[in-house]
Amino acid sequence: MTKPLALTMGDPGGIGPDIAIKAWLERTRRGVPPFLLLASPELIRDRAERLGVELSLVTSTPAEAVEIFSRALPVLPLKSPVPLACGTASVESAAAVIEAIDRGVDLTISGAVAAVVTNPIAKEPLLKAGFPHPGHTDYLGVLAAAHTGTASTAVMMLWSKELAVVPVTVHIPLAKVPAVLTADLIVETARITSHDLSTRFGIPSPRLAFCGLNPHAGEGGTLGSEEQDIIIPAIARLRIEGINASGPYPADTMFHADARTGYDAVIAMYHDQALIPLKTLAFDSGVNVTLGLPFVRTSPDHGTAFKIAGTGQAKADSLIEALKLADRIAAAAP
């Protein structure tokens, strides 16, 4: 039996509700797989009214969602109150935002849904409400460990048809990257990436290309020692394990069309080194995929965009790609 995807509302003041509505409206034309929206029905009705669209909405359970999806947007109501704010972040929405994520993961691990797709959240109101995690990816690793009793390292991959990139370090200041970057961290990140590209994306021996940290990949140590001391030894360890790893290469020559034919994914050393090329090549269609988890999770590769929430300007392309990719890799998951 076909299972739906669980889609969280994201921050209720952002564009998550907008693009969820748009994705459902585009379900037939763009082949959007069935999803169950975890949200406040009142919020979704309010946002549809702001967008000026007619929306059929039905409260639903996971078991009913696939049948409902063709004729109405199935919504699983949240227990926490959801402010009808539009265009602003609100601390009062934190409990509902977290509840949606928790329930999406619960439903996925229990097998009630095929995967969880998360709409964008705003970190500041969550942190003000006492949320101790720096972002979605870290929190999902904690939830996975709580469910399985085994520590899970969550790895963020940004995927598009043009390019797949994985940053080794993520949401930390650039000045701290050299101190945080270790051979062990690079090796663990690459192992998880290689494993999931093989088991979930059907790539038998994934080719991983590694960026250098410094300009010109350190130029033999004259522009920095991290390549010689950390990155090259990490790549050597991965090769011994049979992982198809190469580099480190200068980051400024890795992302043109010819270079992209030589690998399946890039392992970048820090956040912007990975995300700038991905968003340049696929700004509207990139997908955030969390690797290393015992369940499938994807997300649009953009933020909450408070300024355009409720205006109709938000594009649903990235969310639609995230839904399609979640459906695809959930079907292939072992």
Mean pLDDT of the chain: 93
Residue 38 CA to residue 27 CA, distance in Å, equals: 17
Q: Which residues is 208 bridged to in the sheet?
A: 245, 265
Using pLDDT thresholds of 50, 70 and 90, give the confidence band for residue 141: confident
**What's residue 130's pLDDT?**
85
How many helices and strands, by DSSP H and E, does the chain display? 13, 12
The tokens of 267 are what?
Answer: 């392992």
> What pLDDT, in 10s, does the model give residues 94-124?
999 999 999 999 999 999 999 999 999 988 8
Using pLDDT thresholds of 50, 70 and 90, give the confidence band for residue 151: confident
**What's residue 180's pLDDT?**
96
**What's residue 37's pLDDT?**
98
Distance, first Cα to last Cα, the chain: 17
User: How does DSSP assign 11-24, residue by residue?
Assistant: -TTTTHHHHHHHHH
What is the residue extent of each domain of the chain? 1-154+294-334, 162-281
Q: Is the pLDDT of residue 204 over 80?
A: yes
Single-letter code of the amino acid located at 112:
A
**What's residue 284's pLDDT?**
87
Residues 6+ apart with CB under 8 A from 204: 198
**What's residue 90's pLDDT?**
87
Q: Is the pLDDT of residue 1 over 80?
A: no
The CATH fold assigned to 162-281 is Isopropylmalate Dehydrogenase (3.40.718)
> Is-above-0.95 flag for pTM?
no
Residue 143 CA to residue 100 CA, distance in Å, equals: 13
Give the CATH class of 1-154+294-334.
Answer: alpha beta
pLDDT-above-90 percentage for the chain: 81
Q: Is the pLDDT of residue 334 over 70?
A: no
Residue 126 CA to residue 83 CA, distance in Å, equals: 14
Binding residues for substrate: 136-137, 279, 288, 297
**What's residue 261's pLDDT?**
96
**What's residue 139's pLDDT?**
86
Residue 217 CA to residue 223 CA, distance in Å, equals: 8
CB 121 within 8 A of CB 304: yes
Phi, psi (rounded to 5 degrees) for 155: -120, 130
Binding residues for a divalent metal cation: 171, 216, 271
**What's residue 185's pLDDT?**
97
Among 54-68, 143-157, 238-252, the minimum mean pLDDT is found in 143-157
Average pLDDT over residues 191-207: 95
Binding residues: 136-137, 171, 216, 271, 279, 288, 297
